[in-house]
Structure 1
Amino acid sequence: MTEPADRLGPLLRDAVRRLRAAGLATPDFDARLLVAECSGLPLGEVHSASGMTVSSGAAACLESRLARRLAGEPVHRILGRRAFYEHEFELSPETLEPRPDTEVLVDEARKAMAAIIERRGECRFADIGTGSGVIAVSLLALFPRSQALAIDISAGALATARRNAQAVGVADRMLPILSNYLAATGGPLDLVLSNPPYIKAGDIPSLAVDVRDYDPLAALDGGEDGLDAYRAIAARLDSVLGSDGRAIVEIGTGQAEDVATIFASQGLHLESSARDFSGMTRVLGFSRDEKPVQDQEKDRASTRC
């Protein structure tokens, strides 16, 4: 017996079929997200509600969003938000869509901040290129005795970060700063964090369409060799970091040695490195004191407490 076309089950299956035929990587998940959004259901209830009648407005909503996804727009851009670490964050055209790899940076910063607060009673840190604020907001929520400088060159990105901070309840401890890297920042800071642009300018045209056409260029373009941001950050660290301050940065594929050399030229030594879920070195930690490098190779998901 054929199910009515206005029932949720047939609409979901049709959405999966169309997304799969288009060769998209996660058709089932994308379809469930879009159906949940348009039907007003929690994601976990989509399958169990397959017999639910869908209104004409919800069906039109789904058709419109499917068309956008089929044209290459990332599903979380369509939704306007994405989960990251322990919260959901609003996205905007001026902000990079956060990736799971950046959670490795938050994990590393979390350990450093816990040690700083145990030692000093508080932690003052900067998040350079804050975008939607996922790094700063996630850490502020974890550590009530912390304050953040959220730095970005985009006023629109800072406005988005501010809204996300308000949604999580940490806006009173986050100061948005419109600045190019650390140019307008004073110290002393306990910690400097950044997921900066690190893609070589010449590689950008070959990026996947969902990155190239939807993430802001300023958040991607790291200059001719992909290292411009690291040079700019390292050059200012001596004037903003406290005597026992640290810097932790996300890096791209194969950049570990070059980034370590850049920071070493400014008197900061490689203290730690951490790998992402695929096993690639993704995050480097630096301090003023030379210490043995600790390479965190274990499963990233097991590091959270």
Structure 2
Amino acid sequence: MLPALVERYDYDPYGATYIAYRVPSTYDDASQTRDPNLLTDPAAWQPCESSRFGNPLLWTAQRYDPAVRLYHFLFRTYSPTLGRWMQRDPAGYVDGVSLYTYVASSPTCHVDPLGLTYIISPYQIEALIAELRRRPDIGGGLRGRTRTPSDQKAPTNGCSSPFGDAPSGVNFRGACDEHDRCYQTLGKSRFECDNEFYADMAHLCLAYASSEWQLAECLRWAMVYYIAVRVFGGWADLYDFLKWNGHARRNVSPLEPSRPAPRSQPPYTQPPYTGLGAGTPWCPSRRSPYGD
């Protein structure tokens, strides 16, 4: 006997949640005919306000309260009906002048897992990695987008990370230095610089990882470094969050460096800067005088 689908969830871009459960008395022979169209037969499904199986984690894997129809993030609650946060941004004006806007009003391009600031969405990351795999020598920008050069005379200090410049064996020093220069370049927004930073690290991972395991580790560390600067503004603020925030102590494990690369592996060198990551596929870079 094949397993049967008993509950399903649908969402609109702003998180309005639609839950449907399979009526037990309604017969469908999807398990016999293997016809997936039968699973969308409205006669076999009825809407409900909450999960009949007690599943609280719905849109963006956040806890949903059906009584008030709100999602509870770590720092704020979100209303899918209004498409906005219910509290002011505790991080201040990092996302622009509106303290209530959710992911810069672009939920198909960005995500905000903590309720502090938006970051690039997983599908954008997948698109970026696919593009880099397809064109490893790409330069200038993705999908015809141009990348504003950074001030090459600006001072840099590497990654300033307790895990060093190469936590997975791939050296991120060049990407970190370019990120420092980007922050000091007039006319480039923080969001633009942070996205370029992740794109540069991903490019290094694909160019220098010696195995699929190391590639996965490298991309995981690239995301850790990206979140450290995008959400927390740097490593010092990230450690303050992990150490002092009560919510984080229950949900975030201490960061641990990955195992070192095999000794037989040749040392990594920084590749020439190619100008990757101008914006992200389908979601253009935004420039704002408020540093978002």
Q: Which TM-score tier does this pair reach, normalised by the shorter chain?
A: under 0.3
- Higher fraction of strand: 1
Q: TM-score, normalised by structure 1?
A: 0.26
Q: TM-score, normalised by structure 2?
A: 0.27
